Structures are given as structure tokens and as C-alpha cells.
């Protein structure tokens, strides 16, 4: 029997869309699981490109006890790292969650809230050093679990994280059914999905465009 679960996905201006929508598509596929998009204020937020809007039907004050909370990343996560209202909310809900999760630079927000102190964690490869500066043990890797904390690396890793979470919470059969239902069978045309595999000029180009001093993540 699958128990009802409430999931809160924090959304904010200049988030990376797939960080939130990838896990959403997985988590909302489990029968009895309810996904709520939560923001500092109800209404529309715009993603980092500005071309896409997502709607938050709930404010922080309206969601106080989710079983699962998920923090995506994106340019806007830098602002959240200094937003005490958001950080206080994360600390409060984390005290009650079964799972506290992040995708990409969302783990930096968890770190800024003090929730990753001495915990193994990951994020986008360009920001691992910054994650360490926030008290975490930045081990890298696509999905890292330390107790109830689950952090995922950059953007697409959120789908892997969500599937693993479903497996741990609802069982491997349910997770596999969800995976098949969304036909998640990655066969990328290039083997360049990590800095260990991509050609060095590509790594440097992405670092220049996306790193802490650049415009992304």
C-alpha cells in the first residue's frame, strides 16, 4: 500500500526549469502523492531564461509540514541564499520532513540554511567548492544521500534523484513503473555529460559561461 505523501517544490524567480519539472514529473506519477509548488509569495515566477513561467499555488506560510521538500537551482538560488524568510522556512520544514532534497545549486540554499553541516552532498560540478564553504562535505556524484538528505548534481540529475527517492519511499517496483511510464531510457548522442568525459575545450567553455562568475546555475 502506498501512503499519501505531500511534496513541496520551492520555486522562485530565475530557477532552472528542469531542476523542478524533472522531479515533478516523477513524483506526481506516484498514486496518492501530492506535489505543491511553493514560493515566497503566490503567483507566477519566471525561469532563468525569462521565457517560461511557473505558477506557485501556495505561499511558504501555507505549507508547513510536507513529508518531502525539494529545492531546485538556477541563477535565482543566489538570492535565496540570503533570504532569511526562505532559509527559516527550510529549517522549520526540515525538522518534520522524511526527505529533504535538492537539485543542482539548490544544495547551496540548503547549505546556507545550515542543513548540510558535515553532510555528504553534491551539486553542479562547477559549484562543489562553494558547497564545501557552506559546511558540507562535497563528494560529487550524480545523487548523494546522507541520512534523509538527498542532493542531486546538475539539472538532469534531478530525475535520477526523484526515481531513487520513489524507490526508497514507495518501493523499487513503483519506481520502475514510474520510470517506464515516463519512458526514461537515456541514450545521449554524446558522451560529454560530466567534466571527466567531455573534451577539455568544452569543459573550459562551459566553465567560462556557467561558473560562479558567469551567467548560469
What is the pLDDT averaged over residues 155-163?
A: 98
- Identify the CA nearest to 104 among candidates 80, 82, 87: 80
What does the pLDDT read at residue 1?
63
What is the pLDDT averaged over residues 186-213?
A: 91
Tell me the pLDDT tens digit for each residue of 105-158.
999 999 999 999 999 999 999 999 999 999 999 998 999 999 999 999 999 999
Tell me the pLDDT tens digit for each residue of 61-103.
999 999 999 999 999 999 999 999 999 999 999 999 999 999 9
- In the residue annotation, 104 being an active-site residue is answered as yes
What does the pLDDT read at residue 140?
86
| Residue in 5, 7, 9, 104 annotated catalytic | 104
Using the predicted structure, report yes or no on whether residue 212 has a pLDDT greater than 70. no
Q: What angle do CA 110, 216, 140 make, to 5 degrees?
A: 50
What is the pLDDT averaged over residues 203-207?
A: 95
Amino acid at each position: 500500500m502506498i501512503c499519501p505523501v505531500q511534496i513541496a517544490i520551492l520555486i522562485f524567480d530565475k530557477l532552472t526549469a528542469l531542476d523542478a519539472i524533472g522531479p515533478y514529473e516523477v513524483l506526481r506519477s506516484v498514486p496518492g502523492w501530492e506535489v505543491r509548488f511553493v514560493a515566497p509569495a503566490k503567483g507566477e515566477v519566471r525561469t532563468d531564461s525569462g521565457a517560461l513561467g511557473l505558477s506557485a499555488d501556495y505561499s511558504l506560510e501555507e505549507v508547513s509540514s510536507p513529508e518531502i521538500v525539494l529545492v531546485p537551482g538556477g541563477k535565482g538560488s543566489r538570492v535565496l541564499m540570503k533570504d532569511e524568510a526562505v532559509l527559516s522556512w527550510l529549517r522549520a520544514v526540515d525538522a518534520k520532513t522524511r526527505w529533504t532534497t535538492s537539485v543542482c545549486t539548490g544544495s547551496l540554499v540548503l547549505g546556507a540554511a545550515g542543513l548540510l553541516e558535515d553532510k555528504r552532498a553534491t551539486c553542479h560540478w562547477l559549484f562543489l567548492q562553494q558547497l564545501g564553504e557552506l559546511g558540507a562535505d562535497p563528494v560529487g556524484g550524480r545523487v548523494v544521500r546522507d541520512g534523509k538528505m538527498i542532493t542531486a548534481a546538475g539539472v538532469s540529475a534531478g530525475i535520477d534523484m526523484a526515481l531513487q527517492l520513489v524507490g526508497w519511499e514507495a518501493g523499487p517496483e513503483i519506481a520502475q513503473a514510474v520510470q517506464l511510464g515516463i519512458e526514461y531510457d537515456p541514450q545521449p548522442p554524446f558522451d560529454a555529460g560530466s567534466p571527466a568525459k567531455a573534451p577539455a575545450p568544452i569543459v573550459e567553455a562551459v566553465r567560462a559561461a556557467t561558473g560562479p562568475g558567469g551567467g548560469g546555475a
